[in-house]
Structure 1
């Protein structure tokens, strides 16, 4: 017969044991064992929590010992039954290991380091009883180990098994801690990587905006590792730990005088009214230790306001109590959100549990102890039980037990054990298949199962892939981990000390980034004091939109004051670290909590200012046309002829075009209007000013030519005036052509000058050319003013120079005041200033130069005679 040994390490189930002497310094109890023979024998070690409880008074002094015998955690007996169920399921399936019957062998490690090493050594070397027709333990050919639930137990076992390259499958959920350098290549993980849980915790805290949370962590290496990994993640996501408190990891306490200080130290965090969210990380024994502290704080289980918190539990925690604590409940943890190893219901498992009876399995030493302590009954010796109420009948039903003593639903850890058994069985199936197909293995020869060595299992176990009866597809990745997910659960407690677990979400590592965490907030049942609403857990209240956070000196970054945003910036969300500027086409609201789209601004024809300027432009253009018509009509009169009538016509036409060119500045800027308006205005005005200068020079030359012996008479005439007009205008036109050829104006948008408006304007292209053109026009004006001022008192009967002096004085005044006004205004006001300057300066020329002539032509025609015009005045 085939003789294989399959080692299994499981969580706490029984502490009752025989005591024998051993080679160690202190005698240790021999583990309680359970044999089930088979062609392939399955053996194991049960990772157990054993403890003694002592009654203490509130002064901290120990009182009498309540019970001397250790008590089991009955809830964890499901882990053993999950193993049994998996083995039986495999044995009933002829497609996995045909003609091979699996058995199992379970040990109890007592969750003690020395006991773990002792049990592992016993498994490796010690011979046990002989079963007829089976060669059990004769060769100790160990194939694989499953266990344990905690990281400490798992790594203690790994220290020994790695020496022999024996595969070890751990079913607990804990971080990839490094022990003695690189992790053993014989170490496999069935439970999910703790990194997924850490991501789930962060996403959960961010979902409910819990930024000020407390942490209770087990006082061991696992707790230190968890804190080392989680704390940076919390900081990166803007979450602070209000406190970190260590929880003792065992029940082997010696109560002394300092117990009161220990209790008070644990209860300090509950006084922090700002921290309403607490996290708990630790193995089941640490959680049960924490329950003891909670019980000592409130033995009557009365409602304590300070205990009303939102609890977040890690997947390592299990809501379990010992049979001694059957009177306790989990009211303190109502509404707890906790993580569990993701699992689907395995078909037939609950029926298997319901059929389990204390007399149904021969050699099952655990089941009798479990039955007595779970149902508070006794079979033979009443002294071995606590508060015995009745004798065990064997017909008690597991479904009647409260959840903290036993569950019919397969827990996450039991599910991992079930998968671990199937993983090893499928690996053996692969080996069996390779033998049947005459495949070479390692040494080139087919390997029989009874000659199989543990190290030869690794290639098959590493590559195993199978579907369990729950419909899950399972395999190991390159890190020898099964990428299992996590379920997010909610604990609902009831007054009858029972509780119910509601699945409210999940953490799935195989989904795309950002979709790993899913939660249904509507399904959550909260602590009663929160009125079915998510609690606030903040060091400082939220900073409302319109303000930003200012960290308080000497405190954590979650503690801050709120200050208003600087002018011009906004914050549109709560708790912003810095205020932001609006987009260029938006501006802040009055409360600086949002942005408003800016309005489009340009000087349109439809608005009152645009209508006024348009009316003025057309009115002045009409007046100029009338004056031009009057002069044409009376072209033969002396007053028209005396002042170089062709220059007069050019000046009137230039003024007419100046008034009309102002309309190019109104309306929405386009490529054509931007291209033309500045250059057209500057050229036309240069022509007008050149005409004025020509008329002034003509007066001066004419006066000088009348002096005896003067040679200036040859300059008198149209040639001089036309030369002045053409040369001055040509220079301006040349500069404008250069401007338009190199950097012409174009339509532009100004979003910065005004807070609430977007200005549609013409960008001048080259600002330098704009001011050169404007400066040249100013230079002509100043020259005209100086010449006219010098000629104002010439003794003509009708000296035009004095009127030109007034007109140029007005012209220069308008454009000198234009420059600072233009530079100090923005938007449509800037355009209005330039249009008004064009109209005002043109009107000054028109009024000062032509109004006296029109007065004589129209109202005083008797003065419009040759005698009157040519008569000199001295």
Structure 2
């Protein structure tokens, strides 16, 4: 501070013709002493100041200090009613930004809010979401840890939170060390002054705890006492934020000019000299007799400070001193701006200006709020509305030097004025990690959940501790640490990795797959056999076997069977509106036509038997015209059912996800269930009627024993369709359609073989039995 004031006084451009004066008070790291010094400055204990031609009241316009937050809070409350500016160079507590309580407080060191932001950015950069925290039991530590906790909980969790005791309480220190050892967190953040942290550091080194990555607040990050060779095994690699380092040209020469001064009211320089050179001045009243002085080197006052390498003359790490330097210059620039005011354009009542000869602290306070200048290092100095300086921190790392000592190296910078998200800039290659791998450690309670999984909280654990649960089928997560799995759209399904939705596989009974080829081939074979049988019957239509079995009805029955076989082809292939309508209509009409023919044939057998009985002429009432009319009537009823069904709610193609969520099953919805039920029910009714009549006629004379074959064929027909119902319901996907096609083909083959196989056997293989004589005799056909 003295150097800065003398530098300003010798500057012809800054405060020309104005000489700054000062008073120095030692707070003795004691709040009452600090408050006493502030009160002395306010009260003006030394009312007159006479030196050279300067006379008059000694004005105290501003105070540079106090370095501690707690002291600054108390002093600022004392000064605020008098509107005397207090510019601190090291009080960082965020609480001091409250202008309602500390209206005249300013600082050139950043607020802890920004220190917390810098630490948060570092933690975010390395993905540490599970950390421990320790804070001192004072305003500095408690305000800092509170801000840190609020910002950190947005993306991470505290494994533990401990408070350092004011006094060296062994039990409390042991408790904190046990919390560190028991926690799975590999990163610990500490907000505490060097003095209060010392007992904990010693105990950690004593217990040889070496697996922790320490994050240091600015209060201890540059402590050469803590950063020692003895502590390096546990604290090597510590990363911290430090007050911005600056160079002050000429300061070292100024410090080396100090000489002992035997002023009875200030013996500080004498004590300093004796401590520096390990000697004592004979003039020092502390030496009371020769016996006491024996063996003690006497100081001459001519010793050369320049020959000693001490912390006093080392100006390479000017952090706190640089902030003192900026504080003095901030006040000087505020006074300079005050001098530059012109009446009529002033900031005070009536647009007046302050009088430099009688300036008041509250007037300087006004200009201090608006001060803005750039240091010789190009750093801008200004205060925001809270009296805080623009936050710039050095990010440091404790490293081993070549000579074995501990070196505090700069590895990056935090600049509040940088682009959002890029405030922290790190030189990764320059960082020393005190770990076996030599790389940044991991510190997470649970590792990140990969794509395809979601986070599930563990009961009784913080949100950072979780299990990774795979997404359910049909759901995905395409980012790490997702808390939910997203459901795929209706036509999509999750892939095996559950990290993206893919189009569902479309399934239907295709002509290309094995099942479709088999059924198609079988249907064509059945249709071909029906046509072959029809050709045989046409060729041998004049033979007794064909005539005896009502050739016209047999022809019609074979044609209907051909359609029954061919209608199964409409069930194969991708469903469309046309095929959905055709498959049910053709199926319904073909089978009614087929069963109608068989029913009429059964009726003909019964009527023919009754007609041969004496006095019975029923055959004339059920001739060829009546037979055709009956078949037409039965078929017309089914046609009417189909027409009504299609007009009310026709079958349509649809996508079915009920059986297999991972596939889209293309099928035909029946539309009206009632219409479909009537269609099937009508076929079943005719089949049952036919079966009953055929069963009743099974014992007729052998000449008319076709009823036996009809009975057997209808038994097969009914058995197939009764079995079809549960098989149809339980078959998933395309197998549902396959079961339906199989039922059609099975029942059609049953009818074809049961009714026509015996006749074809006689026609082709036993032509000698295909005579009227044989048919008139009792024998098997």
Settle same-fold status: TM greater than 0.5. Answer: yes
Partner in structure 1 of residue 192 of structure 2: 282
Partner in structure 2 of residue 662 of structure 1: 571
Cα distance in 1 for residues equivalent to 2:516 and 2:754: 26
Partner in structure 1 of residue 73 of structure 2: 155
Partner in structure 2 of residue 357 of structure 1: 256
Choose from 393, 399, 410 the match for 1:503: 410
Choose from 20, 43, 54 the match for 1:135: 54
Choose from 785, 788, 791 the match for 2:690: 788
Choose from 25, 29, 36 the match for 1:118: 36
How far the C-alpha of 1:277 sits from its partner, in A, is 3.5
Partner in structure 2 of residue 730 of structure 1: 640
* Higher-Rg member (1/2): 2
Partner in structure 2 of residue 600 of structure 1: 505
SS in 1 for 2:637: helix
How far the C-alpha of 1:819 sits from its partner, in A, is 3.9
How far the C-alpha of 1:651 sits from its partner, in A, is 1.0
TM-score, scaled relative to structure 1: 0.71
Choose from 525, 532, 543 the match for 2:432: 525
SS in 2 for 1:279: strand
Asked whether 1:716 is paired with 2:716, we answer: no
**Deviation sequence 1:277-324 (CA, Å, 0-9, x none):** 3332123xxx134336655x69xxx9862356322111233534689x
> For the Cα contact (< 8 Å) 1:274–1:539, is it kept in 2?
yes
Partner in structure 2 of residue 745 of structure 1: 653
Moved more, 533-542 or 495-504: 533-542
SS in 2 for 1:356: helix
Choose from 26, 39, 64 the match for 1:108: 26
Choose from 673, 680, 687 the match for 2:582: 680
Cα distance in 1 for residues equivalent to 2:533 and 2:300: 131
> For the Cα contact (< 8 Å) 2:260–2:273, is it kept in 1?
no
Q: Unaligned 5+ residue runs, structure 2? A: 288-292
Alignment of 1:212-291 (within 5 A): 213-242=131-160, 244-248=162-166, 268=178, 272=182, 274=184, 276-283=186-193, 287-291=194-198
**Deviation sequence 1:663-715 (CA, Å, 0-9, x none):** 22xxxx4xxx2434443221111012210232144235544596647695487
How far the C-alpha of 1:761 sits from its partner, in A, is 1.9
| Cα pair distance change 1:410/1:538, threshold 3 Å | same
How far the C-alpha of 1:513 sits from its partner, in A, is 5.4
Choose from 654, 663, 666 the match for 1:762: 666
Moved more, 517-526 or 707-716: 707-716
How far the C-alpha of 1:190 sits from its partner, in A, is 3.4
How far the C-alpha of 1:163 sits from its partner, in A, is 0.7
Number of aligned positions between the proteins: 749
> For the Cα contact (< 8 Å) 1:165–1:454, is it kept in 2?
yes
| Cα pair distance change 1:552/1:724, threshold 3 Å | closer
| Cα pair distance change 1:604/1:700, threshold 3 Å | closer
How far the C-alpha of 1:222 sits from its partner, in A, is 3.0
**Deviation sequence 1:320-343 (CA, Å, 0-9, x none):** 4689x9998766532111112346
| Cα pair distance change 1:763/1:388, threshold 3 Å | farther
Q: Unaligned 5+ residue runs, structure 1? A: 1-79, 254-258
How far the C-alpha of 1:234 sits from its partner, in A, is 4.8
Alignment of 1:235-634 (within 5 A): 235-242=153-160, 244-248=162-166, 268=178, 272=182, 274=184, 276-283=186-193, 287-291=194-198, 294=201, 305-306=208-209, 309-320=212-223, 332-342=234-244, 345-346=246-247, 349=248, 352-353=251-252, 356-359=255-258, 368=269, 372=273, 375-378=276-279, 380=281, 395-397=304-306, 400-401=309-310, 408-435=315-342, 438-439=345-346, 441-494=348-401, 498-510=405-417, 514-527=421-434, 530-535=436-441, 551=458, 557=462, 585-586=493-494, 600=505, 602=507, 604-627=510-533, 629-630=535-536
How far the C-alpha of 1:417 sits from its partner, in A, is 3.5
> For the Cα contact (< 8 Å) 1:542–1:574, is it kept in 2?
no
> For the Cα contact (< 8 Å) 1:374–1:401, is it kept in 2?
no
**Deviation sequence 1:49-84 (CA, Å, 0-9, x none):** xxxxxxxxxxxxxxxxxxxxxxxxxxxxxxx47xx3
SS in 1 for 2:61: strand
> For the Cα contact (< 8 Å) 2:665–2:733, is it kept in 1?
yes
> For the Cα contact (< 8 Å) 1:427–1:461, is it kept in 2?
yes
Cα distance in 1 for residues equivalent to 2:541 and 2:11: 129
**CA RMSD, Structure 1 to Structure 2 (Å):** 5.0
Cα distance in 2 for residues equivalent to 1:399 and 1:784: 123
**Deviation sequence 1:536-565 (CA, Å, 0-9, x none):** 657789999989777476xx5489797987
SS in 1 for 2:95: coil
Partner in structure 2 of residue 92 of structure 1: 11
Cα distance in 2 for residues equivalent to 1:850 and 1:380: 141
Partner in structure 2 of residue 776 of structure 1: 678
> For the Cα contact (< 8 Å) 2:580–2:652, is it kept in 1?
no
> For the Cα contact (< 8 Å) 1:427–1:457, is it kept in 2?
yes
| Cα pair distance change 1:628/1:485, threshold 3 Å | farther
Partner in structure 1 of residue 597 of structure 2: 695
Asked whether 1:833 is paired with 2:739, we answer: yes
SS in 2 for 1:241: strand
> For the Cα contact (< 8 Å) 2:338–2:353, is it kept in 1?
no
> For the Cα contact (< 8 Å) 1:546–1:572, is it kept in 2?
yes
Cα distance in 2 for residues equivalent to 1:815 and 1:445: 110
Moved more, 537-546 or 435-444: 537-546
Moved more, 148-157 or 641-650: 641-650
Partner in structure 1 of residue 290 of structure 2: none
Cα distance in 2 for residues equivalent to 1:483 and 1:635: 113
How far the C-alpha of 1:490 sits from its partner, in A, is 0.8
How far the C-alpha of 1:532 sits from its partner, in A, is 1.8
SS in 2 for 1:585: strand
Cα distance in 1 for residues equivalent to 2:668 and 2:307: 91
> For the Cα contact (< 8 Å) 2:278–2:297, is it kept in 1?
yes
Moved more, 212-221 or 579-588: 579-588
SS in 1 for 2:529: helix
> For the Cα contact (< 8 Å) 2:655–2:665, is it kept in 1?
yes
SS in 1 for 2:407: strand
How far the C-alpha of 1:731 sits from its partner, in A, is 1.2
SS in 1 for 2:242: strand
> For the Cα contact (< 8 Å) 2:128–2:187, is it kept in 1?
yes
SS in 2 for 1:401: coil
> For the Cα contact (< 8 Å) 1:635–1:645, is it kept in 2?
no
How far the C-alpha of 1:274 sits from its partner, in A, is 4.6
How far the C-alpha of 1:716 sits from its partner, in A, is 1.2
